Amino acid sequence: MRDLAILCLVAAVVVFAVVVELIAAALPVLIVITMVPPEERPALAACLAAVDSRRRLRLWPALRAAVRVRRQL
């Protein structure tokens, strides 16, 4: 019984970590899709690609770069 409880706890922690990673990866994309006008998306995508070359875009650096570019326009 105790082994089953430990197994369930480990599985819950793994599932939680996976869900958090998926949300962290998808949130910047959802923000761009919902809040950036369609005609500005290519320029923003090019800017973010130049600023952050990691595969998973971090939320706050992406938002700061987007605001900086938006203010320059």
Span 17-43, pLDDT tens digits: 999 988 887 777 787 778 888 888 888
Q: How far is CA 44 from CA 19, 28, 49, in A?
A: 27, 12, 8
Residue 52 has what pLDDT? Answer: 61
Distance CA 60, CA 4 (A): 39
The tokens describing 44, both together, are: 């923003």
Amino acid in the structure at residue 33:
I
Half-sphere exposure (Cβ direction) of 31: Cα atoms closer than 13 Å: 17
- Give the domain ranges of the chain: 2-72
* pTM, 2 dp: 0.50
